[in-house]
Amino acid sequence: MKQNIYHQFITKKSSGKKSFAVLIDPDKVNAKSIAELVKLSIEAKVDYFFVGGSLVISHHLDECIQQIKAACSIPIILFPGSPSQVSKYADALLYLSLISGRNPELLIGQHVISAPFVKKSGLEIMPTGYMVIDGGAPTTVSYISNASPIPADKSEIAMCTAMAGEMLGMKLIYMDAGSGARRPITEHMIEKVAQHIDVPLIIGGGIVDPEKAYLNCKAGADIIVVGNAIEKDFSLISEISAAIHSVANVNAG
């Protein structure tokens, strides 16, 4: 199995480098906005594009990815809300298991059904323990997943969930307060989880400014994902990217 991008994650983590992933929801972009987004992302040295959404209604996922690909070499990682959001044109796939929930369909059921198709895609597969944290508002992901999120102040539950995910073989942990969360994940929770796992930690949901992105990295996040705020204001790409890349991880080693 391919491991190019994952290998990059690990190398960056061991040297204390933090990464910025811009989330693109295919439902919310068109050819013109993709072109602008990609241009600004190249200038800002964005590390990755995550592509997907909890509910992708449009049918232009392949087209959207091909357009990004044609314009830059920033790796494209699928962040699918369902197995239908798999495109062979991407570089890698976050193979998500919703370990914070107790919905068997999202833990293993949909994976079984889509396994042959996913394998055939030739994508780099990255097994990811996906944890939804309460962000102060019911988000699409919590509704669609039919699973209750981990309460925002229960850092111990998050910590134990992430540890269990890692021991089950997950290569990444993604903690998400949900797109457009009112309250992003606290630094306390990020710190607690980061201290107890060795795999890279992805944090997203409700991050709207460079300061929060910076503090999350300081607390132990390895990859910061921002979608909603950038959709509203593209100029945030360079500010957030600069903040993330300015962090030198004192815990690196």
- Separation between Cα atoms, residue 111 and residue 101, nearest integer Å: 15
- Separation between Cα atoms, residue 201 and residue 87, nearest integer Å: 24
Query: Which DSSP letter does residue 48 get?
Result: E
CB of 46 to ligand 1GP, least distance (A): 14
Q: Which neighbouring-strand residues pair with 76? A: 49
Query: By C-beta, is 193 or 226 nearer to ligand 1GP?
Result: 226
CB of 122 to ligand 1GP, least distance (A): 25
Using an 8 Å Cβ cutoff, are 86 and 93 in contact? Answer: yes
Work out whether 22 is an interface residue with ligand 1GP (CB under 6 A). no
CB of 28 to ligand 1GP, least distance (A): 10
Among 23, 46, 51, 201, binds ligand 1GP (CB under 6 A): 23
Site string for ligand 1GP, 143-182 (x = CB under 6 A): ---------------------------------x--xxx-
Please give the size of the binding site for ligand 1GP, defined by CB under 6 A. 14
Query: CA neighbours within 13 Å on the CB side: how many for 22?
Result: 31
Query: By C-beta, is 92 or 225 nearer to ligand 1GP?
Result: 225
- Separation between Cα atoms, residue 142 and residue 211, nearest integer Å: 26
Q: How far is CA 145 from CA 25, 84, 107, 142, in A?
A: 18, 15, 10, 5
CB of 39 to ligand 1GP, least distance (A): 20
Q: Which neighbouring-strand residues pair with 130? A: 98, 174
* Nearest to 154, CA basis, from 188, 202, 103: 188
**Under rule CB under 6 A, which residues in 199-218 are in contact with ligand 1GP?**
204-207
Name the site residues for ligand 1GP (rule: CB under 6 A): 23, 176, 179-181, 204-207, 225-229
